[in-house]
Structure 1
Amino acid sequence: MVHRKQWDVDMNNTQFWHHENWLSDASTWIEQQLRLRNVEPKSPVEKVSGWALGQILRQSTNRGVYYFKATALLPLFSNEAQLCLLLAKLYPEVVPTVVAADIQRQLMLTESFGVAFCENESLSTWAEAFFAFSQLQVNTINNIESLKEHGCLYRPIEKLPLQLTDVFACDAIKAMLPRHIKSDANVIISAVHQAVEALQIFELPESLVHGDLHIENIARKHNSFMFFDWSDACISHPFIDGTYIYRMAKSKEKDKIVNAYLAPWHDFLPIERLTCAWQTAEIVCYAHQAVSYASMFTCIPEQGKVDLQMAFEHAFQRLHQKALSC
């Protein structure tokens, strides 16, 4: 459960990359892990990307490319390194191979996992990829307890109304929200509460949720889709991962993506009931994402807040708009 005190956690000095010699330390750790496996680095590490939520490095070796990731220590982030160790063992065909991990510092080293898709990838690829991900979700149902034991947070949807109440009570968050959204806080919370109750009636099982599932967090390796960037992962209602699909403009292509995503769930409900559950889940998805952004926003440095500002605002705007239309 999220409590108000979590919105005030100061984590500015706890991140691995906030230490002066972090890049040198990362390079040393990478080299040590590779040499333990008889792999030789060929050149200095290269920085791929980095911001308040994580850092990614690339290491060329005599056996190909490896990737290093340091994930932010945040209240609503799973322990990505620990979780990915398990996921890579359980589902090696769709999750990158983890070569080494430092669970305490949330560092991991993975083998190259193909080329990530771009934002403008064809919607037919979206349909194939989301079908594959939905199959993965169904496969995780029997491993829920193991996933929880290996660093994956449990975020049941019934907690969302209380979490939103805490969000709207937080002065730091209220200061960042437009007046019209703050004034409709009770409307938003009530709409989410009603949707959660309605969604629970369908009794779909909880599963692994990626938390930030979009085409740029998916790669193709050989004939498989590889899913990466699991920092937002949790155990929750499976349709939480539909956020990016809901935001697409109406089209026949979007319908195909939705149908592909729902197909692996046909054993649990008939298609008419699944479709109804899917429609009910939209505002629940937006609420989940808004809570996530609120938690991040109060825990990262000022520059990180600048980088996150637009996403934070859009998350609450979507939630607000959907609440008013319910």
Structure 2
Amino acid sequence: MRDDGAAVVDRGRYPDAVTPWERESWRAAALDWVGGLLAARGLVVDGAPWVRLRPWSVLMRVPLAGRAPVWFKASPPSGAFEGPLTAALARWVPGQVLCPLAVDAGRGWMLLPDGGESFRTVLDREPVGPREWEALLRQYAGLQYDLVPHADEIERLGVPAARTADLPEVFEGLVAVNRALGPDERARLEGLRPRLADWCAELAAVGVPDTLDHADLHDGQLFRPAPGRFTFFDWGDAAVSHPFAGLRVTAERARDRYGPRVLPRLLDAYLEPWTGTGRTSAELRRAADLAWRLSSLGRAAAWGRMFPDASGARPGAVEGARSLLELLAEPPRAAG
């Protein structure tokens, strides 16, 4: 592929985002990598690529002659685990994730096939009831359950660890490095230490094992190839942590669409794969309540995984501070 300036670039709400795309040498290397992979498969580029630049990724849609496009993704160094993780997931839970066409772990690059329509596109086009969201959460929980035996392997791929027993330490580290917190905000968070330690201990005592948490599973991070069936992608925010932390983002999106009364049925669907393991329904619901609040730590950590800022500023600090402050809010009653 040639860099002829014809690419359509989308910067969204981040016109000043610092990404490697602006460097000619990096851009040429990425285009050569994609072009070589396509040529080896006998595929022909048909038109200008579309490029989406965000502080946390470079995403490029490459149109092909006679078939669906392919997608190139570049992650920041701290998110370079996404390619190897996605490839491993394609082996461990086939059919539930996209299978990469190629991965360059050293450079944080990945080439993916087209996954079809996102769930968000489906929601925009046709009426979809809560049952689809129940099916989504049931499938996601089942995937997490199936990945429990692979938790150590996932961590060895470079996926960040935020294991339940270590969350107090994770909290301390996030608060210490965040310079966007005001003095009053920092004091309120530091005053939360004893309660947070108790929450983590109580959550760990339930005994639900740590596994993979997507950490940002919303309707734009899913394909829906058929009613009641989903394909998960975009694992750049993932961590090895308590699985129930993964419920929050999806449930909040559904609540925004259908109202708070949808939460109990979504919780029941999500917890279904975790029943029958010797834990009572009350224990699982309490664990979900605790994990809902503590999921803010995963979101705060993910905001720090962006392309380095040439100015030396720590990217994502403001967004990370906002996530940390969510620890102070009570979870919705229906979540637990």
TM range, normalised to the smaller chain?
A: 0.7 to 0.9
Amino acid at match of 1:213: L
Q: Does 1:283 align with 2:285?
A: no
In the alignment, the residues of structure 2 paired with residue 297 and residue 216 of structure 1 have an alpha-carbon distance, to the nearest angstrom, of 19
Match of 1:209 among 202, 213, 218: 213
Residue in structure 1 matched with residue 249 of structure 2 by the alignment: 244
Match of 1:108 among 110, 114, 134: 110
Write the deviation string for residues 14-37 of structure 1: whole angstroms up to 9, x where unpaired: 964353233332222111112222
Residue in structure 2 matched with residue 145 of structure 1 by the alignment: 152
SS at match of 1:272: helix
Unpaired runs of 5+ residues, structure 1, are 1-13
Size of the alignment, in residue pairs?
Answer: 303
Q: Does 1:25 align with 2:29?
A: yes
Amino acid at match of 1:17: W
Q: Where does 1:161-200 land on structure 2 (aligned, <5 Å)?
A: 161-170=168-177, 173-174=178-179, 176-200=180-204
Q: Does 1:263 align with 2:265?
A: no
Post-superposition shift, 1:321?
Answer: 2.6
Residue in structure 1 matched with residue 87 of structure 2 by the alignment: 85
Post-superposition shift, 1:245?
Answer: 5.0
Residue in structure 2 matched with residue 320 of structure 1 by the alignment: 328
Q: Does 1:52 align with 2:55?
A: yes
Post-superposition shift, 1:315?
Answer: 0.9
In the alignment, the residues of structure 1 paired with residue 45 and residue 232 of structure 2 have an alpha-carbon distance, to the nearest angstrom, of 26
Q: Does 1:94 align with 2:103?
A: no
In the alignment, the residues of structure 1 paired with residue 263 and residue 194 of structure 2 have an alpha-carbon distance, to the nearest angstrom, of 29
Unpaired runs of 5+ residues, structure 2, are 1-17
Post-superposition shift, 1:129?
Answer: 1.2
Q: Relative contact order: is structure 1 or structure 2 higher (C-alpha 8 Å, sep ≥ 6)? A: 1
Q: Does 1:133 align with 2:136?
A: no
Q: Sort the Cα spacing of 1:265 and 1:67 in 2 relative to 1 into closer, same or farther, 3 A.
A: same
Q: Is the 8 A contact 2:99 2:113 kept in 1?
A: yes
In the alignment, the residues of structure 2 paired with residue 225 and residue 32 of structure 1 have an alpha-carbon distance, to the nearest angstrom, of 31
Q: Is the 8 A contact 2:148 2:211 kept in 1?
A: yes
**Deviation larger for 116-125 or 38-47:** 116-125
Q: Sort the Cα spacing of 1:220 and 1:312 in 2 relative to 1 into closer, same or farther, 3 A.
A: same
In the alignment, the residues of structure 2 paired with residue 304 and residue 69 of structure 1 have an alpha-carbon distance, to the nearest angstrom, of 24
Amino acid at match of 1:262: L
In the alignment, the residues of structure 2 paired with residue 139 and residue 50 of structure 1 have an alpha-carbon distance, to the nearest angstrom, of 34
Q: Is the 8 A contact 1:116 1:219 kept in 2?
A: yes
SS at match of 2:329: helix
Residue in structure 2 matched with residue 3 of structure 1 by the alignment: none
Q: Does 1:156 align with 2:163?
A: yes
CA RMSD of aligned residues (A): 2.9
In the alignment, the residues of structure 2 paired with residue 30 and residue 40 of structure 1 have an alpha-carbon distance, to the nearest angstrom, of 11
Write the deviation string for residues 194-226 of structure 1: whole angstroms up to 9, x where unpaired: 110000110011111112112221111245301
**Deviation larger for 107-116 or 179-188:** 179-188
Q: Is the 8 A contact 2:99 2:112 kept in 1?
A: yes
